[in-house]
Amino acid sequence: MVLGLVALALVAVACAPNATQSTLEPKGPSAQKSYDLFVPVFWVAVAIFVIVEGLLLLFVIRYRHRKGRTRIPAQVHGNTRLEIAWTILPTLILAGVAVPTIATIWDLAAKPTGDVLEVNVLAHQWWWEFDYPDQQILTANELHIPTGKPVYLTLCAVGFGYGDPVPSAGGPPAPSACQGSTDQPPPAAIGASVIHSFWVPELAGTQDVVPNQTNHLTIQADEPGVYEGQCKEFCGLSHAYMKFKVVAHTPDDFERWVAEQQAPASPDVSGPAEAGKAIFLQTCIACHAVAGLETANGQPVLANGAPNLTHLMSRECFRGCTLEINDENLRRWIADPRSFEAGSFMPDYGLSADEIDQVVAFLKTLV
């Protein structure tokens, strides 16, 4: 009965009709190649399991101890032919599995050629930044791509280095090949440069993001849609909140998205939004950037290790893509970010309820 209940529980937890992160439902050629390798290897493993466990049960039952037996069977030396056979057979099986495995690994590791979209992926604590060097676009938490086109990702971990004596105060950035391709300075040291792992299972396998090392991954979506991803390597207190979305557009829709993202934010605001802009310039620009926005000295507002907010309202989510962008969530986040995210590096400026409403009104103009 206990074994039956355990088996039933395992079957029950495997039932997820609305699962959004299934490696068994590939939606692009990279994920399909991994799946095509997994299926035959899986069935080889199933066959081996059934044979080995079947023989084990057969011997346990057939040669079990019986009543009346007073001595153990005679102990004899092993069968040389059998020992040679069960040494050679696994070797041949592993060799057979190794051939398509190595071929697939090399295939997935190769840099795509032809019409390729290149994106730098910068892993922060605890959010993802996406830098499109050719399009001069910086965004956060949502990776937008065209369908039917390979996307070559360069992945880097960014943040302060391990030698920083006061981590909470930030420090010199750890070396990274994914420097900002726009007029932005190198990624600043907010949070530590630690190991992350980029994983969007419907489009590709996982790839670690390691400090002082540059890794690459190719993804591609066959159909428009939203594909959920996450950091698959524990990276600190709020690792569980470090998610992201890959939004696949038709080629025409992607070009429209690029054009919208390349436009600066409108500098003309009025009413509560104008007051919120003033508060933003006094506080938030210490970390966040808005293209087209200038400080009181006429200097452009540049990002300093936090998400670029130029087109915030064109996104669906924030805080590692775990909170929907709406007025209530924005208010609660600005009022007390650390109640949402353990170890958050965003300070609480002690704004009043009216000031928070004004900042939210300004953020809503960033379309």
Instruction: Report the pLDDT value the prediction gives residue 121, as an integer from 0 to 100.
Output: 95
Confidence label for 179 from pLDDT (cuts 50, 70 and 90): low
Average pLDDT over residues 160-176: 61
Instruction: Report the pLDDT value the prediction gives residue 305, as an integer from 0 to 100.
Output: 77
Confidence label for 15 from pLDDT (cuts 50, 70 and 90): confident
Distance separating alpha carbons of residues 354 and 207, to the nearest angstrom = 44
Residue 169 has what DSSP assignment?
A: G
Instruction: Report the pLDDT value the prediction gives residue 81, as an integer from 0 to 100.
Output: 87
| Alpha-helical runs (H) found in 283-348 | 327-335
> Among 143-152, 153-162, 200-209, 226-235, which stretch is predicted with the lowest mean pLDDT?
153-162
Average pLDDT over residues 148-177: 75
**Mean pLDDT taken over the chain:** 87
Coarse DSSP helix, strand, coil percentages of the chain, rounded to the nearest 5 percent: 35, 20, 45
3-state secondary structure of 5: helix
Distance separating alpha carbons of residues 152 and 116, to the nearest angstrom = 7
Whether residue 161 has pLDDT greater than 80: no
Q: pTM for the whole thing?
A: 0.85
Q: List pLDDT tens digits, range 314-354.
A: 999 999 898 999 999 999 999 988 888 888 888 888 899 99
Dihedral angle at the C-alpha atoms of 157, 150, 264, 313, nearest 10 degrees? -80
Instruction: Report the pLDDT value the prediction gives residue 299, as an integer from 0 to 100.
Output: 66
340: Cβ–Cβ under 8 A, 6 or more apart, which residues? 319, 323, 332, 333
3-state secondary structure of 123: strand
Whether residue 175 has pLDDT greater than 80: no
Distance separating alpha carbons of residues 171 and 178, to the nearest angstrom = 18
Distance separating alpha carbons of residues 323 and 81, to the nearest angstrom = 64
Q: List pLDDT tens digits, range 102-130.
A: 999 999 999 999 999 999 999 999 999 99
Share of the chain above pLDDT 90, in %: 58
Instruction: Report the pLDDT value the prediction gives residue 171, as an integer from 0 to 100.
Output: 59
Q: Which of 4-13, 194-203, 338-347 has the highest mean pLDDT?
A: 194-203
Residue of 76 and 312 predicted with greater confidence: 312
Residue of 37 and 12 predicted with greater confidence: 37
Share of the chain above pLDDT 70, in %: 91
Instruction: Report the pLDDT value the prediction gives residue 17, as an integer from 0 to 100.
Output: 72
Instruction: Report the pLDDT value the prediction gives residue 182, as an integer from 0 to 100.
Output: 46
76: Cβ–Cβ under 8 A, 6 or more apart, which residues? none
Q: Assess contact for 213 and 238: CB atoms under 8 A.
A: no
Distance separating alpha carbons of residues 227 and 144, to the nearest angstrom = 10
3-state secondary structure of 345: coil
3-state secondary structure of 301: coil
Confidence label for 282 from pLDDT (cuts 50, 70 and 90): confident
Residues across the chain: 367
Q: List pLDDT tens digits, range 50-103.
A: 999 999 999 898 888 888 877 877 777 778 888 899 899 999 999 999 999 999
Q: List pLDDT tens digits, range 136-148.
A: 999 999 999 999 9
